[in-house]
Amino acid sequence: MRRNVLSAAALACTAVLATAMPAFADDPSPVPDTTAAPADSGGQAAETDPSPVPAEPGAAEPTPAPAEEADGVTVVPRGAPDTGDAPVAAQSGGDGLLIGGGAAAVLAAGGAAVFVVRRRASGA
Amino acid sequence: MTPFSRRAVVAVAVACLTAGCGGDGGSAGDGPAVRESPGHRSPSAAGSPVSGPRPLARSVPVGLEIPAIGVDTPVVRLGLAPDRTVEVPPITADDPAGWYRYSPTPGRPGPSVILGHVTVGAHGDGVFRHLARLRRDDGITVRLENGAAAEFAVTSVRTVAKAGFPTEDVYGDTARPELRLITCGGPLEDGEYRDNVIVFAALRATAP
């Protein structure tokens, strides 16, 4: 009987201890805390680290140093300059279209007039 | 080893060390000048040591004269377009040339960059219509805001495809004052010029 009681008590204690283990495991919190702190700061660094990287090109754009105060090219532009507005030929092409269209209209009007005159002549 | 021979060995070692440092220092001192030439890789720089007239004080350009092709034009300032390409002068009847304000002022060490249109649409020819006709040693004079003038001599004229624009040759550092004139050229493709004409020039004289 006593054995049963003792074994039951031992079992209960074991169960209590087993359930309390996570709570005990929380005790050495200073260790994880201290490690957590650098981890957090590392996390912050990781957060701040990427931002300067993309920010650098972006930040360089609005504040280029004017070369009036420095020797050498301070900002190298991208690509090739577009220094030619070309449509001179295109404009003469447009004029040609206008002339051609006008000539066609005159020709059509003349043809219609001839057609009408001939019809009248044949009808008379 | 006697004290004398020890001193001799130490003296020789010190002499070797200082000689080595001196050699390095000399090469370091020469280094930039030597590196500059291949650095900018422009034809004008090939084999050209830093010499010639003294650089001018910083002052923005206000006028440009190229007698060989009849150019006498005011110069405006150009910056960067939103897409980070270089701005170009306005398209007007008497279009001016434009100085890229993130390049050195003419007469200062480095490549000063001036751009102009080859054609300006309905207005006809642009200020740099005949830039490709320039030849070696043709003179280019840039008037500065402070009254000084920088006279450059053409060293080479290149026509390059826009797709392969020689950014380093044009904008790369140079030890001496140089000038780049840029316009468009080559055949038209879909209403746009295929090439750029680039004139490389080096400072020949200054006034006053």
DSSP code per residue over A85-97? B-THHHHHHHHHH
My answer on whether A2 and A47 are in the same domain is yes
Q: In order of start, what are the domains of chain B with their CATH numbers?
A: 43-207 (2.40.260.10)
For residue B154, what pLDDT is reported?
98
Mean pLDDT, residues A55-81 taken together: 69
- B97 at interface of A, judged by CB pairs closer than 8 A: no
Residues 55-84 of chain B with CB under 8 A from chain A are 58, 60, 80, 83-84
Q: Is residue A41 part of a domain?
A: yes
Would you place residue A117 in the very low, low, confident or very high pLDDT band (cuts 50, 70, 90)?
A: low
- Do A8 and A51 lie in a common domain? yes
Asked if A86 lies within 8 A of B84 by C-beta distance, the reply is: no
Residue B44 has phi, psi (to 5 degrees) of -65, -25
Which amino acid appears at position A72 of this protein? Answer: G
Query: Would you say B183 and B118 are in contact if contact means Cβ atoms under 8 Å apart?
Result: yes
Rounded mean pLDDT, B29-37: 27
In a domain, A3, yes or no: yes
Residues A2, A54 share a domain: yes
Instruction: Say yes or no to pLDDT of A44 above 50.
Output: no
Closest partner CB to A87 (pick from B111, B185, B191): B191
Rounded to an integer, the average pLDDT of B121-149 is 97
Return the SS3 of A53.
helix
CB contact under 8 A, A67 and B102: yes
Q: Domains in chain A: how many in total?
A: 2
By the 8 A CB rule, do B158 and B42 touch?
no
Model confidence band, residue A48 (pLDDT cutoffs 50, 70, 90): very low
Considering chain B, what percentage of its residues have pLDDT values greater than 90?
Answer: 73
ipTM: 0.74
Is residue A72, in this structure, part of any structural domain at all?
no
Give pLDDT, residue B52: 77
Calpha distance B151→B183 (Å, rounded): 20
* Token pair recorded at residue B187: 């055949």
> Domain boundary at A59, A75, A109, which?
A59
Last residue within a domain, chosen from A41, A59, A77: A59
Token representation of residue B185:
């050229």
Residue bearing tokens 């020949």: B204
The answer to whether residues B132 and B193 touch, using CB atoms and an 8 Å cutoff, is no
- Among A64, A79, A84, the residue with its CB nearest the CB of B102 is A64
Contact B197, B66 (CB under 8 A): no
Domain assignment of residue A87, yes or no: no
Nearest to B119 among A65, A74, A86 (CB): A86
Is residue B108 within 8 Å of B137, Cβ to Cβ? no
Residue A53 has pLDDT above 60, yes or no: no
pLDDT of residue B84 exceeding 90: yes
Highest average pLDDT, of A64-73, A102-111, B102-111, comes from: B102-111
C-alpha to C-alpha distance for A25 and A18, rounded to whole angstroms: 11
Q: How confident is the model at residue A71 (pLDDT cuts 50, 70, 90)?
A: confident
**What integer pLDDT is reported at residue A2 of this predicted model?**
54
Quote the distance between the C-alpha of residue B63 and its chain's center.
17
> Residues near B168 by Cβ (< 8 Å), separated by ≥ 6?
B40, B41
Say whether residue B86 is in contact with chain A using an 8 A CB cutoff: yes
Picking from A61, A63, A85 by the largest number of B CB atoms within 10 A of its own CB, the best residue to mutate is A85
Q: What is the pLDDT of residue B136?
A: 98
For A25, the domain range is 1-59
Is A44 domain-assigned?
yes
Which of these three, A59, A82, A107, is where a domain ends? A59
Q: Which of B176, B47, B181, B36 is nearest to B107 (CA)?
A: B176
The single residue listed with the structure tokens 């080893």 is B1
- A85 within a domain of the structure (yes/no): no
User: Are both A50 and A101 inside the same structural domain?
Assistant: no
pLDDT tens track for B54-83:
899 999 999 999 999 999 999 999 999 999
Q: How confident is the model at residue B4 (pLDDT cuts 50, 70, 90)?
A: very low
Tell me if B88 sits within 8 A of B115, measured CB to CB.
Answer: yes
Q: Domain check: are A1 and A53 in the same one?
A: yes
Same domain for A55 and A96, yes or no, is no
B183 and B64 Cβ atoms separated by less than 8 Å: no
A94 bridge partner residues:
none
pLDDT number for residue A50: 40
Say whether A76 and B171 touch across the interface (CB within 8 A): yes
Residue type, B120: V
